[in-house]
Homo-oligomer: A and B are copies of this chain.
Amino acid sequence: MPNAIVSQSGGPTGVINASLVGVIEQAKKHSKIDKLYGAIHAVSGMVKENFVDLTDISPERLDAIAASPSAALGSSRDKPNAEYCSKILEVFKKYDIEYFFYIGGNDSANTCKIINEMADDVDIDLKAFHIPKTVDNDLRTTDHCPGYGTAAKFVACALQGDDLDNRALLGVKIDVIMGRDAGWLTAASTLGQQRDDDGPHLVYLPERPIKIEDMVAQVKEVYDRLGRCVVAVSEGIRDVDGVVWAKKIAEEAEVDSHGNVQLSGSGALADFLSKKIKAGTGIGRVRADTFGYLQRSFAGLQSETDVDEARRCGRQAVIYSEDNDNGSVAMKRTGEGENYCVDLFLTDLANVAEFTKDLPDEFINEAGNGVTKAFKDYAMPLAGNLPKTDTFINDPKL
């Protein structure tokens, strides 16, 4: 019997290991898979034959892996070119690998597609399946992406606490949230809201370019009304000329191998906004945090829905490989609210590769600085249960 390989690529998430565990569990039940190899550090481990044997891992260890954030096999930002891919195929041939499971974002779906097509061209029997993951939730075709719910839960809990902190000490608080091209994760900052005056009071998304002067005026309006203001800002927000602000600000923008400017891992945008708002409003206490990598890596804070779905997607990719040549696992929502549930389906790799998905217009308010009820209805089930909080500040005074 032939063998299979699994790997993880791109930025890790809180549940990418649950998808890996799904693949490992189901591969044992597959009618035509002998061994399952795990490639360490994605495509880089494939060309270097840096493999671990995942065929017989105890259920206890699988549960521990599924509960751990980050990529248990390591990851990579390498974008393989044709030569790189043909080297991968040579290694697959050497190890008698006929099944390839790749957990990642749209770049990974594209890699899957290229390797699958190259295999066809040289008449190698290779089945290639993509399992979606991204905290950004910006993959096409699927209702949502494994990884988003857990990151959304982190952001929602962070904003719940931050709003209470801002109630206690007043002033303006700005939080810069991940999301290079789409505002999905920034929008999730609203999911923990309970009271009418709970922050974030303003939400700025890459989908709605804005002038700094307009943002300052909107912050001042909220502050004048409530005596405080909590602002959620996507790291990918754009000026009205369409240029990403973080790019404008960065003196030396660091570019990764996919041609993406590094937006995370720097406090520059938060500090810039803080200074501008302070100068523009005259408010004394203006603070800014950049949530950074914690959003995708914080340990012990998975959304239960998310971790279950991620594991299902991993298992389903292996099931699809029994009767299909290639594809990407996607989710379709079949129930809403308390009856929330999803069905899985197989979609063409081309439907996921390369492109991304913005927040649709119906999820963004008319003013372009907040979300709608439709967004909350969409995202609440994904983040799962959030803490309930209380405060005496809103109680009637003596």
On A, residues with C-beta under 8 Å from B are 8, 11-12, 14, 37-38, 40-41, 49-54, 61, 64-65, 67-77, 157-158, 160-162, 164-165, 167-170, 173, 192, 264-268, 270-271, 274, 287-294, 296-301, 386-393, 395-398
Contacts of A65 in B (CB 8 A): 390-392
Can you list 16 A-B contacts (CB < 8 A)?
A: A8-B168, A38-B392, A52-B395, A65-B390, A72-B390, A72-B391, A72-B392, A157-B301, A158-B294, A158-B299, A265-B288, A266-B270, A266-B274, A267-B288, A289-B292, A301-B301
Contact A389 B69 (CB under 8 A): yes
Q: A298-B157, A390-B65 are in contact. Are A165 and B287 (CB under 8 A)?
A: no
Contacts of A296 in B (CB 8 A): 165
Contacts of A37 in B (CB 8 A): 398
If over half of A's interface residues share one DSSP class (helix, strand or loop), that class is named, otherwise mixed; here it is: loop
Apart from A70-B161, A70-B167, 16 more pairs, CB < 8 Å:
A41-B170, A50-B397, A67-B388, A69-B160, A73-B393, A74-B169, A74-B393, A158-B298, A161-B294, A265-B274, A266-B267, A266-B288, A289-B290, A289-B294, A294-B294, A300-B387
Contact A289 B265 (CB under 8 A): yes
Inter-chain CA distance A2–B386, complex, in Å, is 41
Contacts of A54 in B (CB 8 A): 392
